[in-house]
Structures are given as structure tokens and as C-alpha cells.
Amino acid sequence: MSKKVMVVMGGFSSEREVSLESGKGAVAALTKKGYQVIVHDLTDTNKFITALNDNKPDVVFNALHGNWGEDGTVPALLDLLQIPYTHSGMNASVIGMDKSLTKLIAEQAGIKTAKGRKMTAKEFISIAPTLPIPFVVKPVSDGSSVGVFIVKKPEDIFRIRYSDPKTELLVEEYIDGHELTVMCYQGKAHVVTELQAKNGFYDYKHKYTQGETNHILPAKIPDDITQVCLKYAETIHNKLNCKTVSRSDFRYNPQQGVVFLEINTHPGMTALSLVPEQAKYIGISYEDLCQTLVEEAACRQLK
């Protein structure tokens, strides 16, 4: 009898719509593979727990993105309930979602990162005019480039708005050059993609709008630079103990070399997402990728 898989999508974060698209893709792929698929749009925690108790899935396919789904909260709940789930566990998810903490671990592992520091939105407002331009401002814990601003001239500062003055931000030097990304699959990185956004940078709009970004696969960069990207991606994936698949983002220019930006422990699975594209390039279909995630699903064992 085939496994019963509950695909959990939607959620409470700013990435809800993207999560729904990832979930739809996973549902179609797993159905095609012959699994018993249950769909759950997470809008209420009590209803989610009730659905888990009623349906008793063998595996939860975590198609959630952003806060709550991707930051370790749902993995922690599933650990307690002893239900195996896809993607990284609680610890890797918590660390990967925290850009500042990931940055520290990367640096300790010998991975080059951009110079910068963490501060609250309130602190940022008070010191922003004194910061050396260009620089980047981004929430410490968020995904899909939500809330990311690039300041290239003084007047750009006035465009920056965060509703909560306690929001934790990471303010870093801006690294110009090639925007690169690497999937790490089962602990191994294989290929680098360059992202060429048609206007601006690879933000939410460019990630999820058809035709807004050119994907150069493989990236047209020197071989030694490719090898650095692959090595960095594997190193941070394994340092965080990520499971099955992750995606790491980098910038490169000849002056500063390869600079690590962040890791995504629950990469998107939409039609425009990068991980399925790189998987296909190395001979792994979207359906096979989803199947591997299900077959490698696990939860933290109670002792």
C-alpha cells in the first residue's frame, strides 16, 4: 500500500501565495507517483492538528515558506507528534531562517560573507544617514527577498519602511556583480545558476513573475569560481545538517570573489523555482525530486 502524504501549504506568512503554488506542484507530482495525497491549507493551528489526527499521514510534505512554516515551528510540532516530514529539521530550519546566525556559522566554516551587522529597525532609522553607501537592508528572518532594500544613493533611504520598530534587520555592504545560486541535493552540489533580473535585483517580483529574470544554467563564470560556489554550498548545507535539499545564494565579482548571502532550507517548488530547474539539469525530474523528499522524510526521535 502506498504511503499517505499530507501536503501542507499556504500558511500565515507573506509568502503564502508562493507556498500555495509549491504545494500544488507537489500534489500533482506525488499523485502521479502513486502516493495517497491529502491537501491541507494551513490557516488555523487547531484545524491542522485535527487534520493530522484524523488523517494519520505517514509523511507530511512541508510546502510552507516563510515564517512559521520554514523557521522550524512546524517541524518542531511534527517532531512532538512523531510524524515524519520533508525538508530540514527544526534546528537547521531555525538557523537557516536567521540570516545573522547563518552568517556567523558560515564565517566560522571559512565561507566569505559580506561585512555588516544586526540592528533593529528603530536603530537603523537613527544611523542610516551615516552608513557608507551602497548597502543592503533585509529582515533577519524572512524569505523570498521580502523587505529587502538596496541603498545606492542617499534618497533611497527614504523608501525603506518597516511597520514594527523592533524588527531585526541585517545591514550589509552591497556586493556588486554576478548573482548566483546553487542547489545542494543529498549533501552534494552540482551546478551554478546565474540570475539576471531584467530590472533591479532578484526580488519577490523577479522570482515569481514569468519573464522577469533570465536563468543562465550553467552560469558563465570561471571554473574555479564555480568550484568555490559548489564547495561553499555543500559546506553550509552540511554544517546546518540540512536534509535532502537546500539552496544557497551568492554574489561574485573579481575584486571580492565569491560572497555567501544566505541559505534556503525549504526552497520553492513552483514552476519558476530554481531547485527543480537545477535538479532537471542533472537528470532528476520534478516528480522524482518530490518522491525523494518523501522517502527521506524523518522526524526527531523521542528517547
pLDDT digits (tens, 9 = 90+) for 39-81: 999 999 999 999 999 999 999 999 999 888 889 999 999 999 9
Q: Are residues 244 and 192 in the same domain?
A: yes
Q: Grade residue 134 by pLDDT with cuts at 50, 70 and 90.
A: very high
Would the pLDDT of 207 be above 80?
A: no
pTM of the model: 0.90
Range with lowest mean pLDDT among 5-9, 72-76, 194-198, 202-206: 202-206
Residue 276 included in any domain: no
Return the CATH number at 163: 3.30.1490.20
Average pLDDT, the chain: 91
Q: Are residues 196 and 140 in the same domain?
A: no
Mean pLDDT of all residues in 146-158: 86
Q: Are residues 246 and 231 in the same domain?
A: yes
- Residue 2 has a pLDDT of 87
Would the pLDDT of 26 be above 50?
A: yes
Residue 141 included in any domain: yes
Q: Are residues 80 and 193 in the same domain?
A: no
Q: Grade residue 141 by pLDDT with cuts at 50, 70 and 90.
A: confident
Q: Which residues contact 223 (CB under 8 A, 6 or more apart)?
A: none
Count of residues in the chain = 303
* pLDDT per residue as tens digits for the range 117-128: 999 999 998 898
Mean pLDDT of all residues in 185-191: 96
Would the pLDDT of 204 be above 50?
A: no
Range with lowest mean pLDDT among 65-74, 192-201, 212-221, 227-236: 192-201
Helix orientation angle between 45-55 and 73-81, rounded to the nearest 10 degrees: 40
Minimal CA–CA distance to 72: which of 32, 101, 51?
101
Would the pLDDT of 210 be above 90?
A: no
- Residue 277 has a pLDDT of 96
All three cell numbers of 117: 551587522
Strand partners, 192: 182
Q: Are residues 75 and 200 in the same domain?
A: no
Burial class (CB in 10 A: 0-12, 13-18, 19+), 171: buried
Structural domain tally of the chain?
Answer: 3
Return the CATH number at 66: 3.40.50.20
Mean pLDDT of all residues in 3-11: 96
Is 241 strand, coil or helix? Answer: coil
Return the CATH number at 246: 3.30.470.20
Q: At which of 138, 155, 173 does a domain end?
A: 173
Quote the domain boundaries for residue 141.
116-173
DSSP type of residue 35: -
Q: Grade residue 5 by pLDDT with cuts at 50, 70 and 90.
A: very high
Q: Are residues 103 and 232 in the same domain?
A: yes
Residue 23 included in any domain: yes
Strands 168-173 and 178-185: what pairing? unpaired
% pLDDT > 90, the chain: 76
Q: Grade residue 1 by pLDDT with cuts at 50, 70 and 90.
A: low
- Residue 224 has a pLDDT of 98
Range with lowest mean pLDDT among 91-105, 187-201, 208-222, 270-284: 208-222
CA 87 distance to own-chain centroid: 11
Q: Are residues 164 and 109 in the same domain?
A: no
Would the pLDDT of 145 be above 70?
A: no
Minimal CA–CA distance to 66: which of 184, 145, 166?
145
Indicate the residue type of 49: I
Minimal CA–CA distance to 89: which of 262, 295, 242, 237?
242
- The span from the CA of 46 to the CA of 92, in Å, is 25
Most confident of 1-15, 81-95, 149-163: 81-95
Q: Are residues 108 and 220 in the same domain?
A: yes
Q: Grade residue 211 by pLDDT with cuts at 50, 70 and 90.
A: low
Taking residue 277's Cβ as centre, other Cβ atoms within 10 Å add up to 17
Mean pLDDT of all residues in 260-275: 92
Percentages helix, strand, coil for the chain (3-state, rounded to 5) are: 35, 25, 35
Mean pLDDT of all residues in 202-220: 67
Residue 272 included in any domain: no
Residue 303 included in any domain: no
